[in-house]
Amino acid sequence: MERISRIAQHVNGGAEVPGGLAAQAVAGAGPSPILVALKGKIAKLAKEKSAQKADLLKNNADVVIGEVSVEQCINGGRSVKMMVTETSDLDANTGISYRGKSLYECNKELPKAPGGEVALPEAAFWLLLTGEVPTDAECRAFTEELHRRSAVPQSVFATLATLPKDTHPMTQLSVAMLAMQPDSKFAHKYDQGMKKGEYWEVALEDALDLVAKMPVVAAQIYRSTFKDGKLPAYNAKLDWAANYAQMLGVNSDEKFKEVTRLYLMLHADHEGGNVSAHTAHLVGSALSDPYYAWAAGLCGLAGPLHGLANQECISWLLEAQKDLGGQKPTKELLTAYAEKMLASGKVIPGFGHAVLRNTDPRYMLEREFALKNCPDDPLFQLVDACYQAIPAVLEKGGKVKNPFPNVDAHSGQLMHFYNLKEQNYYTVVFAVSRAMGVMAQYVWARAVGLPIERPKSVPLDVLAKLANKK
């Protein structure tokens, strides 16, 4: 009851909730039809997948699917197949696919906002959760379901308010996740002796709550850190991403809403081995609840070789712009600039990837958006010159395995163009999106009953002995 009144207060503080399925649930009609439908779809697929897992373990448990070299053991386990992730799969050349659909296919096939051209991120979330493309009606009802769950306890904001104002926004976000943890339904049910077969369904409750609350928490962090602290009213008439965009309060342009949808759709998932997803998976495998798991994952996303690269990248671009001193960026100028940078032993942010061996399709989709919507932006012209110049420079250097740009080389320019200029904040936008994939992964890890993760480590001496035996 207390939860519902908190939600009502929150919604009343913002715009009206549309009178749809989710609103009926707010009014006390029990789980909304869309939640029932969502659970039904996951339950059906989970049955198939659990049978597949059982069959693999019964009939193929001893089949060797790969070997591990000394190099893989030392260098971060690249390409070692040692975990199961149902939601998405990364191909080194074509990039990520959500449940078998490339990002181009997702952008084409998933429902859009009225008048919008890019896929809605919550539609991608539904796809990651269920393996199905939602209908427009399902997607609308799912958006409402998220709105219904978006109220953030006052205690979370009170906790954030105790932090020094210059605390990095990613630190604030991780703290906020932990401050929300006391509301974890998974943790409460576990304490009451929940059965294993119930884990995924309760995990889904937390996953939906967490994703629904992310935009509110993230926007409040932005407003408190960089603006007057006042959060524009929540607008439940908008889709999940557009409402986040408007709560940031930096731009009322429809195109800012559209670019936010695109960004949040593209960053939603990147299979299981990336630092933040793997961290969250590992923590979740101990049955720490989804809030603990994502708080841990966020700390990994905050690393400059991973999610923070988009902050690093925009800083790098702005610095380069200053160094060029008003000259028009050209391939030649950027080649010389990047060569100098590389010679000084610095990493060029936004280029290279642990797994991809081609230009990141997320980068290409952002580039297409920029070519259409802001081709004359000086920062885009610099990004474009980097695209023309840097791969060849890195290739000539001879040690980088993938000289091509990843998504972080572009996303900052788009945010900057639409007036979201505080670069320390950029990884938070990434985190709002990635919460969807990591939460879908968490639900699926419980749905197929994956156990606690505990790979073997060895000291270098042991590795040397193993190597000498061969």
- Residues with catalytic roles: 306, 353, 408
Coil, strand or helix at 101: strand
Report the partner that residue 401 touches, choosing among ligand OAA, ligand ACO, none (CB closer than 5 to 8 A by kind). Answer: ligand ACO
Which of 241, 266, 400, 415 contacts ligand ACO by CB under 6 A? 400
List, in order, residues 6 or more apart from 26 with CB less than 8 Å away: 4, 7, 8, 11, 17, 148
CA distance 75 to 353: 14
State which residue, 157 or 294, has the beta carbon closest to ligand ACO.
Answer: 294
Q: What is the DSSP-derived secondary structure letter of residue 401?
A: S
Report the partner that residue 348 touches, choosing among ligand ACO, ligand OAA, none (CB closer than 5 to 8 A by kind). Answer: ligand ACO
Report the partner that residue 429 touches, choosing among ligand ACO, ligand OAA, none (CB closer than 5 to 8 A by kind). Answer: none
By CB under 6 A, the residues from 334 to 363 that bind ligand OAA are: 354-355
**Residue with structure tokens 């505990």?**
454
Q: What is the DSSP-derived secondary structure letter of residue 181?
A: G
Structure tokens at 402: 């993938």
Which of 213, 270, 281, 446 contacts ligand OAA by CB under 6 A? 270
> Taking CB under 6 A as the rule, does residue 274 contact ligand OAA?
yes
> Taking CB under 6 A as the rule, does residue 87 contact ligand OAA?
no
> Taking CB under 6 A as the rule, does residue 438 contact ligand OAA?
no
Structure tokens at 192: 């009451």
Contact (Cβ atoms closer than 8 angstroms) between residue 354 and residue 400: no
> Taking CB under 6 A as the rule, does residue 68 contact ligand ACO?
no
Taking alpha carbons only, the member of 203, 133, 132, 146 closest to residue 22 is 146
By CB under 6 A, the residues from 305 to 334 that bind ligand OAA are: 306
By CB under 6 A, the residues from 259 to 318 that bind ligand ACO are: 305-307, 309
**Helix runs in 308-377, H state only:** 309-324, 331-343, 361-373
* DSSP β-ladder status, 95-98 and 101-102: antiparallel
State which residue, 11 or 170, has the beta carbon closest to ligand OAA.
Answer: 170
Nearest approach, Cβ of residue 270 and ligand OAA (Å): 4
> Taking CB under 6 A as the rule, does residue 241 contact ligand ACO?
no
Encoded amino acid at 36, one letter: V
Report the partner that residue 347 touches, choosing among ligand OAA, ligand ACO, none (CB closer than 5 to 8 A by kind). Answer: ligand ACO
| Helix or strand (DSSP H, E) at 260 | helix 254-266
- Which residues are at the interface with ligand ACO (CB under 6 A)? 305-307, 309, 347-354, 399-402, 406-408
Residues that bind ligand OAA (CB under 6 A): 270, 274, 306, 354-355, 406
